[in-house]
A and B are shown apart, each in its own frame.
Chain A
């Protein structure tokens, strides 16, 4: 190897600062360590130790991440020769995904105690997904984006089909696999088109490294009218829209949400969707910014249809997991409005993140109650099972009411403030039509969310023959679910407790 080449290659490795992704590396080590722990520990103690190891290990990493985030200046920094880029948004989202992953491990512990399934691998995959999503939101290069996204998706295929003795779970896994692979293909095709056209030396601004966001943004600004650029951008957006479940690509949502184990449904609904939105935001404000006149009308139509579709189809649902899935589509619509607003209003990015946090707290409260109440047939949770819950399990039904109220956006709760910020951002950006559609959507959503609460509090008394033997309800569970509700209420009363909106 000659000296010139060595010097050239050293230029690439100069920015490989592994210390900036210490949390991700530690998560990977934790995930591997758990597989090792299962091998060496005796069976009895491994069963109780490994979930604790997963949760406390991640809590420790969260502490490290937050301490590192506090000392962070606030400027944009690029590492790994442009593969990843850290901003204040990525710091918040990394903490967000870790919190998600901890909560999913907690729900997974409840869920797995009712099933005869392999246990360690569940936590392993959940942690791998968390680490990959943390890299996904930081990626500033299409190669990094695709590899991280595929890691998330492949692990999700497994988790969705995790309950392999249940046909609904397997069906959901197969559907997610086929449609997810299709969407990955669409995304990749879009990326390749952009790469190819941006590498054409006859066009202005072409570059050798056109997969990097910065170079691509420069190229697209100069060639916004090129047909291939438009097609490529549209395909990339379509691939991401599949991940967030926006309307033309939403067919997988109800079936997959119903069949997947409840903790996985929660993970898909909250973390996967959040990652999709941050990627969408990054793409729209970064490389595709030059195409905004072309993309904004497309996204506006998608947002409006998504809100209406999600809310209207959720009205008639009786299965609560499908209901959460379809209402999640509606939430994706509101968030899309925020994303469109973020193209003109700077602080709308933070409104989107704020909404995601309130959505996290409320969703995990609801999914936590669902995980507690479900019997071993996890996919068949009907609204009828919640009849008269307030008398049987007053604490759980209180949690459920708070969570659903927050999702519907009732004033003293966090969901209201989240929606308020989003709608104010949309108003400032002048998106009056979308604002009107959103408000209509919220009104419809109150109907079905309160229908569920009504079943709990005023439903007919359940026949006593069908009593499921209650899972031991520990004070730790009480603390965990209580903390989610306290967080929701606190954000609703004092939004400043979340230091997100500057």
Chain B
């Protein structure tokens, strides 16, 4: 079952990514990109990385894509009519990129030296007391444990980072008020 789902989602990611690159309409590109992101999130779910999947949907498919669409609407991008293949730069870049992929695939699977397979640590639901640090886990709970104990100070500082960024946006974009004496 999981294998079938993997192939379905992997295919949807690849196809929508391909559509995104070749589609002449900017809005269609953005929509295809969303499908690709959601497909990636589904792949994360299959890997039991639920937290990552939620982040992928919320941040990328949600916030970032809304931003993209806003910009596309605001700029009012024309549907470009020209064929991509006529552009020499695009053609050259695609050939080089394709060549690199071929080399990578050949060296990874056909050549004698396979990609190293690192010995993965076992995934644990909750950190257990070893005293050396919080081991790798995928559950949302363990991220919370770390954030509010070990990484408390950086977590608070990050809050001020966001505050500074927000104030910056207001200062730089707000209309100049008339002189007040």
A positions within 8 Å CB-CB of B: 2, 4-5, 7-9, 11-13, 16, 21, 28, 35, 43-44, 47, 80-81, 83-84, 116-118, 121, 124-125, 128, 131-132, 135, 143-144, 147-148, 150-151, 154-155, 157-158, 161-162, 164-165, 173, 200-202, 207-209
Whether the pair A83, B154 counts as a contact (CB closer than 8 A) is yes
Quick one: given A9-B149, A118-B174, are A158 and B118 in contact (CB under 8 Å)? no
Q: Are A16 and B172 in contact (CB under 8 A)?
A: no
With an 8 Å Cβ cutoff, the count of chain B residues facing the other chain is 38
Q: A121-B167, A158-B164 are in contact. Are A200 and B118 (CB under 8 A)?
A: yes
B121 contacts A201, C-beta separation under 8 Å: yes
Question: Known: A116-B176, A154-B164. Contact between A208 and B132, CB under 8 A?
Answer: yes
B118 touching A202 by the CB < 8 A rule? yes
The B contact surface, by secondary structure, is: loop
Chain B neighbourhood of A80, CB < 8 A: 152-153
Chain A residues positioned under 8 Å from B164 (CB to CB):
125, 128, 151, 154-155, 158
Chain A residues whose C-beta falls within 8 Å of the C-beta of B163 in the assembled complex:
128
**Nearest-Cβ distance from residue B57 to partner chain A, whole angstroms:** 24
| Contact stretch, chosen from B6-14, B83-91, B95-103, B123-131 | B123-131
Across the interface, B172 reaches (CB within 8 A) one of A11, A158, A209, namely A158
Contacts of A11 in B (CB 8 A): 131
25 intermolecular pairs with C-beta atoms under 8 Å apart? A4-B129, A5-B126, A5-B128, A8-B129, A12-B150, A43-B180, A118-B177, A135-B157, A143-B154, A144-B154, A147-B157, A148-B154, A151-B157, A151-B160, A151-B161, A151-B164, A154-B161, A155-B168, A157-B168, A158-B165, A161-B172, A162-B172, A173-B172, A201-B118, A201-B119
Contacts of B151 in A (CB 8 A): 83, 143
Contacts of A124 in B (CB 8 A): 167
Give every chain B residue within 8 A of A151 (Cβ-Cβ).
157-158, 160-161, 164
Q: B152 is contacted by which of A16, A116, A202, A209 (Cβ under 8 Å)?
A: A16
Would you list the 5 A-B pairs with minimal beta carbon distance, nearest first? Answer: A158-B168, A208-B133, A12-B149, A209-B133, A8-B129
Nearest residue, chain B, Cβ from A148: B157
Q: Which residues of A contact B178 (CB under 8 A)?
A: 116
Q: A-side binding surface: helix, strand, loop or mixed?
A: helix
Complex Cα–Cα for A161 and B119 (A):
49
- The answer to whether B172 touches A147 (Cβ under 8 A) is no
B150: which A residues are within 8 A, CB to CB? 12, 81, 83
A residues within 8 A CB of B145?
A: 5, 9
Contact between chains at A116 and B118 (CB < 8 Å)? no
- CB-CB under 8 A from B154, the residues of chain A are 83, 143-144, 147-148
List the A side residues contacting B121 at CB < 8 Å.
Answer: 201
- What residues of B have a CB within 8 angstroms of the CB of A83 in the complex? 150-151, 153-154
A460 to B24, CA, bound (A): 63
- Are A44 and B181 in contact (CB-based, < 8 A)? yes
A222 and B119 CA atoms in complex are apart in Å by 21
The residue that A202 contacts in the complex, of B119, B171, B181, with Cβ under 8 A, is B119
The residue of chain A having its C-beta at the shortest distance from the C-beta of B116 within the complex is A202
Query: Closest CB-CB distance, A116 to chain B, in whole Å?
Result: 5
Bound CA span A454–B158, Å: 48
Within 8 Å CB of B181, what residues of A?
A: 44, 47
Q: Which residues of B contact A207 (CB under 8 A)?
A: 132-133
* A144 close to B153 (CB less than 8 A): yes
Residues of B within 8 A of A144 (CB): 153-154, 157
Chain B proximity of A495: nearest CB distance (Å): 36
- Name the B residues within 8 Å of A154 (CB-CB): 161, 164-165, 168
Neighbour of B127 across the interface among A5, A147, A155, CB < 8 A? A5
Residue of chain B at shortest CB distance from A46: B180
Contact A116 B179, CB 8 Å, known A9-B145, A16-B153, A121-B171: yes
Closest to A32 in B: B163
| Cβ < 8 Å to A, chain B residues 66-106 | none
One of B133, B161, B170, B179 near A147 (C-beta < 8 A): B161
Measured between alpha carbons, how far is A211 from B20 in the docked complex, in Å?
Answer: 37
Contact B131 A132 (CB under 8 A): no
- In the complex, how many angstroms separate the beta carbon of A166 from the nearest chain B beta carbon? 12
Interface centre among B133, B151, B153, B167 (most CB of A within 10 A): B153
B161 and A150: CB pair below 8 A?
yes
Q: B132 contacts A209, CB within 8 Å?
A: yes
Apart from A7-B129, A121-B170, A128-B160, list 14 A-B contacts with CB within 8 A. Answer: A5-B129, A13-B149, A83-B150, A83-B151, A116-B177, A117-B176, A118-B171, A128-B163, A132-B161, A143-B151, A148-B154, A158-B164, A158-B165, A164-B172
**Given contact pairs A7-B129, A116-B179, A148-B157, A158 touches B152 in the complex (Cβ within 8 A):** no
Are the C-beta atoms of A165 and B176 separated by less than 8 Å?
Answer: yes
Q: Mark B51-63, 1 if CB is under 8 A from A, else 0.
A: 0000000000000
Query: Shortest CB–CB separation between residue A321 and chain B, in angstroms?
Result: 21
**What residues of chain A lie closer than 8 Å to B135, measured between beta carbons?**
208
* Residues of chain B within 8 A of A128, CB atoms compared: 160, 163-164
A13 nearest in chain B by CB position: B149
Neighbouring A residues of B118 by C-beta, 8 Å: 200-202
* In the bound complex, CA of A124 to CA of B128 (Å): 42
Q: Please give the distance in Å from A30's CB to the nearest CB on chain B.
A: 12
* Residue in B closest to A212 when the chains form the complex, CB atoms: B133
- Assess the A132–B129 pair: CB atoms within 8 A: no
- Nearest CB on A from B100, distance (A): 20
B171 neighbours in A (Cβ, 8 Å):
118, 121, 158, 162, 164
Closest Cβ–Cβ distance, residue B114 to chain A (whole Å)? 16
Q: Bound complex: CA of A283 vs CA of B23, how far in Å?
A: 47
